[in-house]
RNA sequence: GUCCCCAUCGUCUAGUGGCCUAGGACACCACCCUUUCACGGUGGAUACAGGGGUUCAAAUCCCCUUGGGGACGCCA
């Protein structure tokens, strides 16, 4: 991407610091036309005025001093080293109406604000002033921004009108709130895209989810491709009420996207998480192995960050009997099953047990040990992944080598 | 305090005066599938904040109340 933003569009410069002269010119124009004035009052003086207003039960809005310093005199004083801010003068009292694209007509009384600063006494322009001028000069047609800016619109409208510029169309979108209905902030947990990425969310899922807070598709479908999103997205379907961020639903949406991913892609995306947890897999770069492993694990994967937990039992160095295997270990049948399973493995000549081979082996274990039902397969599962619950054995077993399976069953028998 | 915005299931929402005994999605519950877990399938419970109007008819329009949020900076 470009080093600077000087060239991103035809109405540059786009960097605020390079537009200082433009802002100053416009402020001067307002001063010359009597819509703004140089204000030499100090912070202390201004504070005293506000305090007095509050005491009198009035809103603390700054108004022009009794005697406005004339532009010529002001410039002369500034040339001698004095400093002054340039303030917009609100003057007449009337209503301004924004035809908000999300909320409809919103009416603001002009006395809602006092005379506001355009250029600080240090020469720097303020946000609302820059906004209005940039929108006009850069030929912005639509301004969509958060609801918190709705009342700022009044100032921008006043400025635009005084400068003789046409106002862009405005649309103020509602907030996304935390579960406590307060503005989303750090204490609500993840707040940046980076945070969500680290938690294992897919960018496309997060994007789709955010799209749906404050907007809905015409036919009510929720999972939309990038192309559909672009095609369908219109301001007419914005919701003016604020939305609560529901991570549970995000989780669901993420699992949907996750499961729809081609396996090669999914494999790539879980690598950082597997590496982070130092999971070492006996996959040997075999696409078929990855394919089988993914097809069995992705059904219980909601985020990429679930991968380490799911793949861990496959990593032999991490193999251990989990706490919930204790009950199975205590069953009298378990040892018989493990011994029969071990014998089957020892008699097996290949390196990897296939699905069909495993089914046959399990059958023979059933007969030899004289055990069936959960007393048969739960001990076998414990001897494979160290816990009695998990993915299907006939898929799990072929993921491991015969040697690894033997070492595992030995740990159970130890 | 003043001004502004907002108000449908727990949550995201559909709904722009009759199609609404309010539809979908997540979550929840039950059942089915399954020799476990998950996936999947079927079904269920749950909402128009309250009060007044307008109208033959109101979730939908108007007013008030209540509740939530925002803005009132020489911050952005």
Is the pLDDT assigned to residue A63 strictly greater than 90? yes
* pLDDT score, position A4: 60
Q: What residue has its CA nearest to the C1' of B36?
A: A389
Strands A243-244 and A176-177: what pairing? Answer: parallel
Is the pLDDT assigned to residue A171 strictly greater than 60? yes
Q: Report the run of H or E that residue A144 belongs to, with start and end.
A: strand A142-146
Is the pLDDT assigned to residue A3 strictly greater than 60? no
* pLDDT score, position A133: 97
Taking the C-alpha atoms of residue A155 and residue A89, their distance in angstroms, rounded to an integer, is: 11
Closest nucleotide (C1' vs CA) to A212 is B12
Taking the C-alpha atoms of residue A348 and residue A337, their distance in angstroms, rounded to an integer, is: 16
Chain A 352-371, CB < 7 Å to strand B: 362, 366
A174 touches strand B (CB under 7 A): yes
Provide, rounded to the nearest whole percent, the portion of chain A with pLDDT above 90.
86
Q: What is the mean pLDDT of residues A75-88?
A: 96
pLDDT digits (tens, 9 = 90+) for A336-356: 999 999 999 999 999 999 999
* pLDDT score, position A205: 98
**This prediction's pTM:** 0.90
**What's the mean per-residue pLDDT of chain A?**
93
* pLDDT score, position A7: 66
Taking the C-alpha atoms of residue A197 and residue A209, their distance in angstroms, rounded to an integer, is: 14
> What does the DSSP assignment read for A190-213?
--SHHHHHHTT--HHHHHHHHHTS
Q: What is the mean pLDDT of residues A118-132?
A: 96
Nearest CA among A386, A403, A409, A411 for reference residue A338 = A409
Chain A 271-310, CB < 7 Å to strand B: 299-300
A36-39 β-sheet, strand order = A36-39, A85-88, A117-119
Which one of the listed residues A67, A80, A181, A186 is annotated catalytic? A186
Q: What is the mean pLDDT of residues A87-106?
A: 93
Taking the C-alpha atoms of residue A155 and residue A134, their distance in angstroms, rounded to an integer, is: 14
SS3 A145: strand
With a CB cutoff of 8 Å and minimum separation 6, the contacts of A402 are: A345, A348, A350, A351, A352, A353
Is the pLDDT assigned to residue A5 strictly greater than 70? no
Taking the C-alpha atoms of residue A274 and residue A272, their distance in angstroms, rounded to an integer, is: 6
* pLDDT score, position A31: 97
Judged on CB neighbours under 10 Å (0-12, 13-18, 19+), A71 is middle
Report residue A139 as tokens.
Answer: 């030929």
Taking the C-alpha atoms of residue A21 and residue A78, their distance in angstroms, rounded to an integer, is: 17
* pLDDT score, position A58: 86
Judged on CB neighbours under 10 Å (0-12, 13-18, 19+), A331 is middle
Cβ atoms < 10 Å from Cβ of A374: 12
pLDDT digits (tens, 9 = 90+) for A191-210: 789 999 999 999 999 999 99
The spacing between the Cα labelled CA in A237 and the C1' in B19, in angstroms, equals: 22
pLDDT digits (tens, 9 = 90+) for A26-61: 999 999 999 999 999 999 999 999 999 988 888 889
The spacing between the Cα labelled CA in A32 and the C1' in B18, in angstroms, equals: 60
Complex confidence, ipTM: 0.94
Q: What is the mean pLDDT of residues A78-82?
A: 96
Residue with tokens 């947890």: A277
Q: Can A80 be counted among the known catalytic residues? A: no
Is the pLDDT assigned to residue A1 strictly greater than 60? no
Q: Are A362 and A377 in contact (CB under 8 A)?
A: yes
Chain B: nucleotides below 7 Å from protein CB are: 1-8, 10-16, 23-27, 35-39, 68-76
Q: Are A39 and A88 in contact (CB under 8 A)?
A: no
Q: Are A13 and A130 in contact (CB under 8 A)?
A: no
> What does the DSSP assignment read for A29-91?
HHHHTTSEEEE---HHHHHHHHHHHHHTTS-------SSPPPHHHHHHHHHTT---EEEE---
A244 touches strand B (CB under 7 A): yes
The spacing between the Cα labelled CA in A231 and the C1' in B51, in angstroms, equals: 43
The alpha carbon of residue A132 and the mean position of all alpha carbons in its chain are separated, in whole angstroms, by 29
Q: Are A307 and A274 in contact (CB under 8 A)?
A: yes
Is the pLDDT assigned to residue A270 strictly greater than 90? yes
pLDDT confidence bin for A12, thresholds 50/70/90: confident
A398 touches strand B (CB under 7 A): no
pLDDT confidence bin for A291, thresholds 50/70/90: very high
With a CB cutoff of 8 Å and minimum separation 6, the contacts of A131 are: A152, A156
Chain A 153-172, CB < 7 Å to strand B: none
């Amino acid at each position: 991407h470009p080093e600077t933003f000087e060239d991103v569009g035809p109405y540059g410069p786009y960097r605020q610091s390079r537009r200082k002269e433009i802002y100053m010119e416009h402020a001067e124009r307002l001063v010359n036309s009597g819509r703004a004035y140089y204000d030499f009052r100090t912070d202390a003086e201004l504070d005293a005025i506000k305090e007095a207003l509050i005491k009198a039960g009035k809103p603390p809005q700054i108004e022009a001093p009794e005697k406005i310093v004339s532009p010529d005199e002001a410039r002369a004083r500034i040339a001698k080293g004095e400093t002054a801010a340039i303030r917009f003068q609100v003057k007449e009292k009337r209503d301004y109406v924004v035809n908000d694209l999300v909320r409809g007509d919103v009416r603001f009384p002009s006395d809602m604000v006092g005379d506001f600063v355009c250029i600080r006494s240090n020469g720097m322009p303020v946000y609302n002033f820059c906004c209005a001028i940039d929108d006009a000069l850069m030929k912005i047609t639509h301004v969509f921004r958060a609801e918190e800016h709705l009342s700022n619109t009044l100032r921008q409208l006043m400025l635009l009108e005084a400068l003789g510029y046409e106002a862009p169309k405005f649309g103020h979108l509602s907030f996304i709130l935390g579960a406590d209905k307060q503005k989303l902030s750090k204490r609500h947990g993840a707040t940046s895209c980076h945070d969500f990425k680290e938690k294992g969310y897919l960018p496309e899922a997060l994007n789709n989810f955010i799209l749906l807070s404050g907007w809905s598709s015409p036919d009510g479908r929720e999972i939309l491709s990038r192309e559909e999103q672009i095609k369908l997205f219109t301001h007419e379907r914005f919701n003016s009420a604020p939305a609560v961020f529901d991570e549970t639903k995000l989780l669901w949406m993420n699992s949907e996207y996750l499961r729809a991913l081609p396996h090669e892609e999914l494999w790539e995306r879980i690598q950082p998480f597997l590496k982070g947890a130092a999971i070492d897999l006996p996959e040997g770069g075999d696409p078929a192995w990855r394919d089988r492993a993914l097809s069995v694990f992705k059904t219980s994967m909601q985020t990429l960050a679930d991968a380490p937990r799911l793949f861990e039992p496959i990593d032999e160095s991490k193999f251990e009997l989990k706490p919930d295997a204790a009950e199975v270990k205590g069953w009298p049948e378990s040892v018989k099953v493990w011994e029969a399973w071990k014998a089957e493995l020892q008699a097996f000549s290949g390196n990897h047990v296939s699905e069909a081979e495993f089914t046959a082996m399990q059958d023979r274990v059933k007969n030899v040990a004289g055990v069936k039902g959960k007393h048969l397969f739960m001990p076998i599962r414990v001897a494979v992944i160290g816990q009695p619950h998990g993915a299907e054995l006939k898929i799990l077993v072929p993921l491991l080598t015969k040697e690894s399976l033997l070492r595992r069953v030995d740990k159970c028998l130890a």
